[in-house]
Structure 1
Amino acid sequence: MGVTVLVLVGVLLLVVGGCVCVVWAARGGPRWVRVVSSVTLGLAEVVGTLARGSGKSRSGSSSDD
């Protein structure tokens, strides 16, 4: 396995773990789960904002014929 694959697997595990913590926190999990859930939701918001921002810059640079 290459290093890239290992990094991608690690990121995938972090994402899945974050999602599990969000669901667990919604059901009243321990404090550390609520902290991980807050971090996960905050990162998701940042990534969503960045994705929307990059989409606007790409659509603004294209021309309609």
Structure 2
Amino acid sequence: MIVLLLGILVLAIGGCVCVVWADRGGPRWVRAVAAVTLAAGELLRIARRNRRRSIKRSSGGDE
């Protein structure tokens, strides 16, 4: 389990490094990894937002 979490952490850090490097004009593969990283982050934001909405609806939404 710890190996899996460490692998995810390494991928996340690597993705962040690629985003910074791509912003400074890195090679094509770095820009591709950065685009995938940013898209994954956006998908996670959307999923979290939708989850919050469904939780508010199921609890009454008066919070």
What is the TM-score when the length of structure 1 is the normalising length?
0.89
Which portions of structure 1, spanning 4 or more consecutive aligned residues, are displaced by more than 3 angstroms? Answer: none
CA offsets per residue over residues 11-60 of structure 1, 9 Å max, x none? 00000000000000000000000000000000111111001000100011
Q: How many residues align?
A: 61
Gaps of 5+ in 2: none
Specify the alignment match of 2:7 in structure 1.
Answer: 10
Specify the alignment match of 1:33 in structure 2.
Answer: 30
Percentage of pairs with the same residue: 51
Root mean square deviation, CA, Å: 0.8
Specify the alignment match of 2:46 in structure 1.
Answer: 49
User: Which amino acid is the alignment partner of residue 50 of structure 1?
Assistant: A
What is the TM-score when the length of structure 2 is the normalising length?
0.92
